[in-house]
Structure 1
Amino acid sequence: MNLGMEAIPHNWHEQIFNLLAERIVVVDHDGIILYINEAYCEFLGTTVEKAINRPVQDVIENSRMHIVAQTGKKELAAIHPINGSEMIANRYPLIVDGEMVGALGTVMFRSPEEWRMYKSKIQNLVEELKYYKTKVEKELKSKYHFHDLIGDSTTFVAVKKLAERISASNSSVLLIGESGTGKELFAHAIHNSSLRQSLPFVAINCASIPEHLLESELFGYDDGAFTGAKKGGKKGQFEIANNGSLFLDEIGDMPLSMQSKLLRVLQEKEVQRVGGQKSIPVDVRIIAATHRDLEKMVEEGRFRQDLYYRLNVIKIEIPPLRKRKEDIPLISMTLLKKMEGKFFRNGIELSLEVKQRLMQHSWPGNIRELENVLERAINVLDGKTIEVYHLPLYLRDQELVSDHVNETNTIMNNPTERNPLPISPLKETLAKVEKEAILNALVVTNGNKLDAAKLLEIGKTSFYEKFKLYDIK
């Protein structure tokens, strides 16, 4: 019974080699070509007759076959530049009866067309990988610098200078400020002015990640740490931010159980992945931020005192917008310039009355609220100047309040300048004022009674009763 190759007629061998999806070359111990198939010769632009018995490096560009034949070390899936392309080569030493006799080399693809087809597929994957790699690298860079922090007010300039001064330090920074004041922008700017600026900047919001996921997000996990764990495990944000900065936003919302684990990492300068045994050293600068009163939380036992002191090495309090109202026009124009591209507009301005209205408002949502107001205005803008009627209702209604306040101040400060009014019973006077308030509210809401009732902060039933009482048409 014939076994192996003996079962195949000898005159079939050459055709089988040529039909393989690989080019084949065989060299002896000295690197002289003993065999090369036609497909390989065709690609090289030569013939079998011209290639046989010649040194392999003279026939095949960038060949390493003669090296493998000498060292006996195989080379698998090696990139082989040849004829302006990059082929995938496998090189095997040939050992017969325990003696190194030569080497076998294979290169994938039978024709340039096959290679081009394969290359285009691989190239697409390479381009996609490059895109995501670039995207990740960009996301790990800080986006803002100190010149992006807008404001000329004394309080804001002082805070900005302090932040710039401490940027070069490696000490932890605690940013305190109301929601929307720009704490994240400060964190970016501090990193960008630090010695770590070319290294990763990683931001994580402690309030937005569920408690059961926060540990694995921060510290990573090992293979098989839990059901659904990614094969091979996953790096945590501390490892990703190694040698750079880690921005822990809303640190006041971190659960107590996680606070103790975070403290250990900051003290030991090493992390242990979930389900892992090995300690991984990390060098990370912490920039934390919160809108909460951490000192009060420490007193109430809701925030660890030792962690608070560890984070509160450099404390920076960012003032709310209402405490730097003189910056509002400048901030508004900067935000408008930023949004013009998004809306394909240019040259948008604020009317003087709008600037005054914006400066009168208390801005509980701070710069984030201001940005929302301006974006809403651009959406309904019909020209290039934002007027009062482009503003949201609650800012338009401010005029009524400010006018009454101004009128009251004028009467109180200059009693001789007020218009003399006939003295009426207080009940009648209050009724007139009430009717006028209802009429004004209806003007502001374009006749919408429900909105007018909300504006006056009275119930729908009460509003309709007064509407009938004063015979308002």
Structure 2
Amino acid sequence: MKNGIKNIPYAWLEEIINLAAERIVVVDVDGWVLYINAAYCEFLGTTTEEAIGKKVQEVIENTRMHIVAKTGQTELAAVQSINGSEMIANRFPLIIEGKLVGALGTVMFRNPEEWLDYQRKMQSLLEELKFYKTKYEKELKSKYSFKDLIGSSPAFQAVKRLAERISGSQSAVLLSGESGTGKELFAHAIHGNSTRASFPFVPINCASIPENLLESELFGYEAGAFTGATKGGKKGKFQAANFGTLFLDEIGDMPLSMQSKLLRVLQEKEIQKIGGQSSIPVDVRVIAATHRDLEKMVAEGRFRQDLFYRLNVIKIDIPPLRKRKEDIPEIVAQLLKKLQKKFHRTNIQLSQEVIDRLQLHSWPGNIRELENVLERAINVLDGNVINQMHLPLYLRDPVLDATYTPEGSVNPSNLHSIPAQIRPLKEALAQTEKEAIIEALKTTNGNKQQASKLLQIGKTAFYEKCKIYQIR
């Protein structure tokens, strides 16, 4: 049997029309009613027998059907008063084989109650949509601008100007710098100052996600792709960032197997979900960040050279805090504003001796360490002035400061510089820390990510401590 509307009985077609549009009328080019369905007639207080064959103006109050049949101009969502009710009418010209032959009209609401009921339903949906849209925009928009990047030193200003200048580009950006220098803030600012600012900013930390989950996080998966997969599948970060910016933090920690898959996406500008059969085009600008020496990793075979060149189109080296100590007072003022809100405090100041001491420290943990020091000081502060007594012990004592390394651990190579009377305590602290790490690794069967969670420290800090204590 051939397919086509001719195979559908006339009675079926009439019922289909009644179901598809509750109230419908058809007129010829002169405005004579050729068809009107029972639902419309019932509302008008007439019958199809009485209405068909009459001028449409005689059947429908305030109609414009005969005008549309002459002008051929569509009229959508027009308000029309019929029987004391405000209706929402749509009027369409009928053009057959290029010739205007009549018009089709439909009515959506028979009375104000119908309209209000529809409006209530729509309002509920709109409110729900607004809630999720606001949440989406809040979570996937850049949180920082270039105004939030504090520092007047020549080194920092040069980097900031470069970042502003290239923010309008579509090229990949590689942010390089030690942990705690503010690489993510730069990524936010670049996106917020770009042509993609109205689209999502999606960050992902490549070091914090287990290797077996990273692919599904980046590219998503189809329903039933693997045991435990969410019903209906899941979008990946690339799809979430479409037309916007994807920030790949700690790119140096991405496994080699994933590097090749990432390279393909950057080259082809399309992704394929896990379990998917088709490719999905994506338009994403990538900003990557690392505290590692990627060039050295390339030479050692631990990072793909081709991916490195893809990411390293525009490289921005963010200077560590020790190379711009003149910025410390400005940064401290900004951090204190943030911390005062957090602790519901006001007018907190630093004594001059504290400022002097902060500028003597080498800041291996950079701005993150500085914020940590200020937060600790506020926690033990009684008045409004932070004095030297409120600082951590290693900042109060220059001798202890000489042995301080990132995250507050001890550098064993510097232990010989500590006076004999306090050396046993430092050695004991270092030994205790080392034993705690070894014990945590035993408990987690060597899983460093789980071990860092047990010890309640960041993954980067955990790896640094393993390196210091030569724990494999």
Partners of 1:350 and 1:386 within 8 A in 2: yes
CA–CA distance in structure 2, aligned partners of residues 329 and 206 of structure 1: 33
Tell me how far 1:285 sits from its aligned partner. 2.2
What number of residue pairs does the alignment pair up? 379
Structure 2 residue 326 is matched with structure 1 residue 329: no
CA–CA distance in structure 2, aligned partners of residues 404 and 370 of structure 1: 14
Which residue number corresponds to residue 163 of structure 2? 163
Structure 2 residue 159 is matched with structure 1 residue 141: no
Partners of 1:191 and 1:197 within 8 A in 2: yes
185 and 85 in structure 1: CA distance in 2 versus 1, 3 angstrom threshold: farther
CA–CA distance in structure 1, aligned partners of residues 401 and 375 of structure 2: 29
Tell me how far 1:208 sits from its aligned partner. 1.9
- After superposition, the C-alpha distances for 1:137-195 in whole angstroms (9 at most, x for unaligned) are 34333222222111122322222223233333333221111111100111122223334
CA–CA distance in structure 2, aligned partners of residues 311 and 29 of structure 1: 64
Tell me how far 1:325 sits from its aligned partner. 1.8
- 1:34-49 to 2 correspondences below 5 Å: none
- Computed over aligned residues only, the root mean square deviation of the Cα atoms, in angstroms, reads 5.0
Partners of 1:24 and 1:40 within 8 A in 2: no
Structure 2 residue 278 is matched with structure 1 residue 278: yes
Query: What is the TM-score when the length of structure 1 is the normalising length?
Result: 0.63
Partners of 1:39 and 1:111 within 8 A in 2: no
56 and 376 in structure 1: CA distance in 2 versus 1, 3 angstrom threshold: farther
Partners of 2:88 and 2:107 within 8 A in 1: no
CA–CA distance in structure 2, aligned partners of residues 114 and 260 of structure 1: 58
CA–CA distance in structure 2, aligned partners of residues 214 and 453 of structure 1: 42
CA–CA distance in structure 2, aligned partners of residues 34 and 193 of structure 1: 57
Which residue number corresponds to residue 126 of structure 1? 126
Which amino acid in structure 2 is aligned with residue 208 of structure 1?
S
Structure 2 residue 398 is matched with structure 1 residue 398: no
Partners of 2:269 and 2:281 within 8 A in 1: yes
258 and 382 in structure 1: CA distance in 2 versus 1, 3 angstrom threshold: same
Partners of 1:79 and 1:86 within 8 A in 2: no
Task: Name the stretch that deviates more: 114-123 or 231-240.
Answer: 114-123
Partners of 2:89 and 2:105 within 8 A in 1: no
- After superposition, the C-alpha distances for 1:431-452 in whole angstroms (9 at most, x for unaligned) are 9x94xx79xxxxxxxxxxxxx9
Structure 2 residue 147 is matched with structure 1 residue 150: no
Tell me how far 1:106 sits from its aligned partner. 9.3
Which residue number corresponds to residue 368 of structure 1? 368
Which residue number corresponds to residue 245 of structure 1? 245
Which residue number corresponds to residue 257 of structure 1? 257
Which residue number corresponds to residue 13 of structure 1? none
Task: Name the stretch that deviates more: 140-149 or 189-198.
Answer: 189-198
Which amino acid in structure 1 is aligned with residue 203 of structure 2?
A
Task: Name the stretch that deviates more: 326-335 or 341-350.
Answer: 341-350
Tell me how far 1:396 sits from its aligned partner. 4.1
Which residue number corresponds to residue 181 of structure 2? 181
351 and 86 in structure 1: CA distance in 2 versus 1, 3 angstrom threshold: farther
- 1:64-75 to 2 correspondences below 5 Å: none
Tell me how far 1:294 sits from its aligned partner. 1.7
Tell me how far 1:250 sits from its aligned partner. 0.6
CA–CA distance in structure 1, aligned partners of residues 274 and 234 of structure 2: 10
* Percent identity of paired positions between Structure 1 and Structure 2: 61
Which amino acid in structure 2 is aligned with residue 249 of structure 1?
D
SS across alignment from 2:246: strand
202 and 88 in structure 1: CA distance in 2 versus 1, 3 angstrom threshold: farther
CA–CA distance in structure 2, aligned partners of residues 263 and 123 of structure 1: 45
112 and 376 in structure 1: CA distance in 2 versus 1, 3 angstrom threshold: farther
Query: What is the TM-score when the length of structure 2 is the normalising length?
Result: 0.63
Tell me how far 1:40 sits from its aligned partner. 6.3
CA–CA distance in structure 1, aligned partners of residues 217 and 360 of structure 2: 43
Which amino acid in structure 2 is aligned with residue 174 of structure 1?
L
Tell me how far 1:334 sits from its aligned partner. 0.7
Structure (1 or 2) with the larger CA radius of gyration: 1
62 and 175 in structure 1: CA distance in 2 versus 1, 3 angstrom threshold: farther
Segments of structure 2 that go 5 or more residues without pairing to the other structure are 1-20, 69-75, 91-102, 403-417, 433-472
- 1:454-473 to 2 correspondences below 5 Å: none
SS across alignment from 2:389: helix
Which residue number corresponds to residue 236 of structure 1? 236
CA–CA distance in structure 1, aligned partners of residues 372 and 253 of structure 2: 25
Partners of 2:172 and 2:312 within 8 A in 1: yes
